[in-house]
Amino acid sequence: MAERKGSRAGSLSRSAVEKAVRDAVARARVFDLHTHLYEPRFRTLLVRGVDELITYHYLIAEATRASGLDPAKFYAMPKARQAEFIWEELFVKRSPVSEATRGVLTTLSEYGLDPRRDGLRGARKFFKSLTPEKHVDLAFAKARLAGVVMTNDPFNDAEHAVWERGGRRDERFHAALRIDPLVVNLPECARKLRAWGYEVDGDFTGRSAPEVRRFVGDRVRRMDARYAAMSFTPDFAWPDDRLQGRVLREAVIPACRDAGVPFALMIGVRRKVRPELGDAGDGVGQGAPSAVARLCAQFPDVTFLCTMLSRLDQHELTVTARKFANLKLFGCWWFLNNPSIVAEMTAMRVELLGLTFVPQHSDARILDQVVYKWKHSKETIAHVLAGKYADMCDAGWRPAVEEIKRDVNALFSGNAMEWLGIS
């Protein structure tokens, strides 16, 4: 009998496809395109441990909402008491069903703890036994991380000292040059730049444009940065004749082009919608995918990585990526990192972009967050992909196991590494 059109030797039956997809996703190594983690040599900048995990701003907002506690009173507590308060409010008085609380449970369970039996006291004892180096190894192993990209602020004094001191790098950690201060607060940064030998004025006059361009190029080389990045509010516009737009147009983006690195845009955060909550007080706003399209059109020889915070922007942004090959979409950022939304966005991207995107990044600020964020995301993404491969089978094309592995590895590591020039 002739082989059905689209089939090939070694191809799977439809009923075997779901298991093959789930196995491939579970085994896939992950390259985390955007985090706020640090190598152990950055010492206290590498944030880790159960108290940090529980007092992350996701849970602060949830706990103060549930309890009605004045945020000022919460922040007046020492860190350990904050953690105990959140544990009591969200894990004892109420069932931990939110994504943020479930993430804590998953992380503790993956580390071999029983969250209900061991509780906060047992978790503290466990984490206290880990050196930074062993802790990194453990978290990377649990999340199956092949590598991560840090977020590196060249104007942070503590970071600057580490880069100037040099030393042996942990090759699993890659740098990303965060240029927000340079663009948002040029007058203050100009003082440091002049002290470092760059002729930059606070009003971006004189030799400022070529000197900022030289600075960005120098820092990319010094850090071996894989991309430059900036977080934008929902009012991001392009063209932009304000100071912010001029710095980007005349210096930062040309420097990225010269260095051969992408520029990453993270668009849609509304800062301090409730200031008294501190980092937990930021919100979300609808951005402007059309501005991203104009940016990509103006700089066709620059690769732009992009993630947007509002769910309402995702369809237009994905359609925009269909039109511009230099626009690379990545992740479900921040408030979008919930299984229901991850599933929706992943399905839409597959349907419109095939396999030419990166479905997730952790955005982890606490080392231990990579454990739950990748476990949860993999489960959701595997479910979506299994359905898409089943649809493909129904259309007459049955994949082989190796083809599924190839595709899954591209989504979880290969695409990101290719975009960033990592072999």
pLDDT tens digit sequence for 184-209: 999 999 999 999 999 999 999 999 99
Report how far residue 120's alpha carbon sits from residue 113's, in angstroms, rounded to the nearest whole number: 10
Mean pLDDT of 358-364: 98
% of the chain beyond a pLDDT of 90: 97
174 pLDDT exceeds 60?
yes
4 pLDDT exceeds 90?
no
Report CA dihedral (282, 283, 288, 289) to the nearest 10 degrees: 90
Residue 260 is encoded by which pair of tokens? 């051969």
375 pLDDT exceeds 80?
yes
Work out the mean pLDDT of the chain and round it to a whole number.
96
1 pLDDT exceeds 90?
no
At 45 the pLDDT is 97
At 9 the pLDDT is 63
Mean pLDDT of 384-396: 98
Class of domain 49-129: mainly alpha
pLDDT tier for residue 344 given thresholds of 50, 70 and 90: very high
% of the chain beyond a pLDDT of 70: 98
At 8 the pLDDT is 62
At 10 the pLDDT is 84
- Tens of pLDDT, residues 246-304: 999 999 999 999 999 999 999 999 999 999 999 999 999 999 999 999 999 999 999 99
Q: What 3 state SS string does 31-70 have?
A: EECCCCCCCHHHHHHCCCCHHHHHCCHHHHHHHHHHHCCC
Report how far residue 78's alpha carbon sits from residue 98's, in angstroms, rounded to the nearest whole number: 25
At 423 the pLDDT is 87
The full length of the chain comes to 423
State the helix-helix crossing angle for 115-128 and 79-87, rounded to 10 degrees.
160
At 7 the pLDDT is 52
At 6 the pLDDT is 46
Q: Do β-strands 145-149 and 173-174 pair in parallel, antiparallel, or remain unpaired?
A: parallel
Domain ranges of the chain: 49-129
At 3 the pLDDT is 40
What are the E-state strand segments in 216-366?
A: 228-232, 263-267, 269-270, 283-284, 304-308, 327-329
Could you tell me if 265 and 304 are in contact, meaning their C-beta atoms sit under 8 angstroms apart?
yes
Report how far residue 13's alpha carbon sits from residue 399's, in angstroms, rounded to the nearest whole number: 8
Backbone angles phi, psi at 31, to 5 degrees: -110, 115
pLDDT tier for residue 181 given thresholds of 50, 70 and 90: very high
At 2 the pLDDT is 39
Mean pLDDT of 403-421: 98
